[in-house]
Amino acid sequence: MPPALEVKDLTTRFRTDDGIVQAVSGVSFSVEQGATLGVVGESGSGKSVTFLTVMGLVDPRQADVTGSVLLHGEEMLHASQHRMREIRGVKIGMIFQDPMTSLNPVKTIGWQLEEAVLIHQDVSKKEARRRAIEVLKQVEIPHADRRVDDYPHQFSGGMRQRVMIAMALINNPEILIADEPTTALDVTTQAQILRLMERLQQEFRMAIVMITHDLGVVAELADEVIVMYGGRVVEQAKVNDLFAKPEMPYTWGLLGSLPRLNSSGGRLEQIPGQPPSLLHPPSGCPFNPRCEYVMNICSEQLPELDPSPVGDDHRYRCHLDDETRARIWTQKRAAMVSEDAA
Amino acid sequence: MSELLVVENLQKHFPVTHGLVFQRQVGAVKAVDGVSFTVNAGETLGVVGESGCGKSTMARCIARLLQPTGGKIIFDGRDITTLNRSDMRPIRREMMMVFQDPYASLNPRKRVGAIVGEPLEVHNIGTDTERKRRVQELLEIVGLNSEHYNRFPHEFSGGQRQRIGIARALAVNPKLIICDEPVSALDVSVQAQILNLLKDLQKDFGLTYIFIAHDLNVVRHVSERVMVMYLGKAVELGSRDQLYREPKHPYSGALLSAVPIADPELGRSRKPIVLQGDVPSPLNPPKACPFHTRCPRFVEGKCDVDTPLLESVGGDGTHLSACHFPLEHWPMTEDEMRRVQGATPVGAAD
CA nearest to B189, candidates B158, B229, B168: B158
Least CB–CB distance from A243: residue in B160, B244, B262: B262
Residues of chain A with C-beta less than 8 angstroms from the C-beta of B191: 257
> B11 — contact with chain A (CB < 8 Å)?
no
Residues of chain A with C-beta less than 8 angstroms from the C-beta of B216: 187, 261
Residues of chain B with C-beta less than 8 angstroms from the C-beta of A186: 50-51, 214, 279
Q: How far is residue B237 CA from its own chain's centroid?
A: 12
Q: Which residue ranges in chain B fall short of pLDDT 70?
A: 1, 343-350
Q: What is the pLDDT of residue A229?
A: 95
Residue of chain B whose Cα is closest to the Cα of A156? B278
Q: Are A170 and A120 in contact (CB under 8 A)?
A: no
Same domain? For B136 and B198 the reply is no
pLDDT tens, A126-141?
A: 999 999 999 999 888 8
Give kind and range of the element (H or E) at residue A103.
none
Window 90-149 of A, Cβ < 8 Å to B = 142
Residue of chain B whose Cα is closest to the Cα of A45? B187
Window 261-280 of A, Cβ < 8 Å to B = 261-263, 265, 267-272, 274-275
Same domain? For B218 and B303 the reply is yes
- CA torsion A53-A59-A61-A67 (nearest 10°) is 10
> A240 — contact with chain B (CB < 8 Å)?
yes
- Select the residue from A243, A261, A263 to test the B interface by mutation, using most B Cβ atoms within 10 A: A261
Q: Are B334 and B296 in contact (CB under 8 A)?
A: yes
Give kind and range of the element (H or E) at residue B25.
strand B24-40
Residues of chain A with C-beta less than 8 angstroms from the C-beta of B187: 42-43, 213, 275
Q: What is the pLDDT of residue B347?
A: 58
Interchain proximity A243–B263, CB inside 8 Å: yes
**Residue A333 identity:** R
Residues of chain A with C-beta less than 8 angstroms from the C-beta of B50: 186-189
A215 Cα to chain B: minimum distance (Å): 5
Least CB–CB distance from A243: residue in B51, B216, B264: B264
A194, B257, B269, B331 from B272: Cα distances, Å: 11, 5, 9, 10
Bond prior to B331 in cis (omega within 30° of 0): yes
Residues of chain A with C-beta less than 8 angstroms from the C-beta of B195: 259, 268
Least CB–CB distance from A258: residue in B190, B217, B268: B217
Nearby residues of A109 by Cβ (< 8 Å), 6 or more positions away: A103, A132, A136, A147, A148, A150, A151, A152, A155, A163
Q: What is the pLDDT of residue A340?
A: 58
Same domain? For B124 and B166 the reply is yes
Q: Where are the domains of chain A?
A: 99-172, 247-341
Instruction: For residue B348, tell me if it sits in a domain.
Output: no
Same domain? For B260 and B313 the reply is yes
Beta strands in B41-85 (DSSP E): 44-48, 70-75, 78-79
Q: Are A168 and A99 in contact (CB under 8 A)?
A: no
Number of neighbouring beta carbons within 10 Å of residue A134:
13
B190 Cα to chain A: minimum distance (Å): 7
> B235 — contact with chain A (CB < 8 Å)?
no
B118, B149, B173 - which closes a domain:
B173
B126, B155, B173 - which closes a domain:
B173
- Select the residue from B188, B199, B224, B235 to test the A interface by mutation, using most A Cβ atoms within 10 A: B188
Interchain proximity B159–A274, CB inside 8 Å: yes
Residues of chain B with C-beta less than 8 angstroms from the C-beta of A190: 258, 260
B166: domain range? Answer: 103-173
CA nearest to A288, candidates A270, A278, A303: A303
Same domain? For B327 and B270 the reply is yes
Burial of A181 (0-12, 13-18, 19+ CB in 10 A): buried
Q: What is the pLDDT of residue A43?
A: 80
pLDDT tens, A245-298?
A: 999 999 999 888 888 765 666 778 888 887 888 888 899 999 999 999 999 999
Least CB–CB distance from A258: residue in B188, B240, B275: B188
Q: What is the pLDDT of residue B192?
A: 87
Q: What is the pLDDT of residue A263?
A: 61
Least CB–CB distance from A270: residue in B196, B275, B279: B196
Least CB–CB distance from B254: residue in A188, A267, A271: A188
CA nearest to B279, candidates B116, B50, B3, B67: B50
Q: What is the pLDDT of residue B349?
A: 47
- Select the residue from A42, A100, A187, A277 to test the B interface by mutation, using most B Cβ atoms within 10 A: A187
* pLDDT over 70 (residue A312): yes
Q: What is the pLDDT of residue A257?
A: 84
* pLDDT over 90 (residue A341): no
Instruction: For residue B350, tell me if it sits in a domain.
Output: no
Instruction: For residue B240, tell me if it sits in a domain.
Output: yes
Same domain? For B45 and B142 the reply is no
Q: What is the pLDDT of residue A251?
A: 94
Interchain proximity B195–A259, CB inside 8 Å: yes
> B241 — contact with chain A (CB < 8 Å)?
no
Question: What is the average pLDDT across A30-54?
Answer: 93
- Select the residue from B181, B203, B263, B284 to test the A interface by mutation, using most A Cβ atoms within 10 A: B263
Same domain? For B108 and B156 the reply is yes
Interchain proximity B262–A270, CB inside 8 Å: no
Residues of chain A with C-beta less than 8 angstroms from the C-beta of B265: 240
Per residue in A18-37, is it b (16+ CB within 10 Å) or e — as a string?
A: eeebbbbbbbbbbbbeebbb
Q: What is the pLDDT of residue B94?
A: 94
> A239 — contact with chain B (CB < 8 Å)?
yes
B144, B173, B202 - which closes a domain:
B173
Least CB–CB distance from A270: residue in B189, B217, B254: B189
Work out how many domains chain B is built from and give that number.
2
Instruction: For residue B29, tell me if it sits in a domain.
Output: yes
Q: What share of chain B is helix, strand, coil (3-state, %, to 5)?
A: 30, 20, 45
Interchain proximity A42–B159, CB inside 8 Å: no
Same domain? For B189 and B136 the reply is no
- The CATH number covering residue B45 comes to 3.40.50.300
ipTM score for this prediction: 0.79
Least CB–CB distance from A43: residue in B187, B214, B255: B187
> B188 — contact with chain A (CB < 8 Å)?
yes
Interchain proximity A268–B256, CB inside 8 Å: no
- Select the residue from B155, B181, B187 to test the A interface by mutation, using most A Cβ atoms within 10 A: B187
Instruction: For residue B123, tell me if it sits in a domain.
Output: yes
Same domain? For B30 and B69 the reply is yes
Interchain proximity B189–A265, CB inside 8 Å: no
- pTM comes to 0.86
pLDDT tens, A162-220?
A: 999 999 999 989 999 999 888 777 888 888 888 888 888 888 889 999 999 888 899 98
What value does the mean pLDDT of chain A take?
A: 90
User: How big is the A-B interface in CB pairs under 8 Å?
Assistant: 134
Same domain? For B151 and B264 the reply is no
Window 43-82 of A, Cβ < 8 Å to B = 43
| Beta pairing partners, B237 | B227, B320
Same domain? For B205 and B78 the reply is yes
Interchain proximity B262–A258, CB inside 8 Å: yes
Residues of chain B with C-beta less than 8 angstroms from the C-beta of A263: 217, 220-221
Same domain? For B255 and B151 the reply is no
∠ CA B343-B347-B350, rounded to 5°:
70
> B190 — contact with chain A (CB < 8 Å)?
yes
pLDDT tens, A2-38?
A: 899 999 999 999 999 989 999 999 999 999 999 999 9
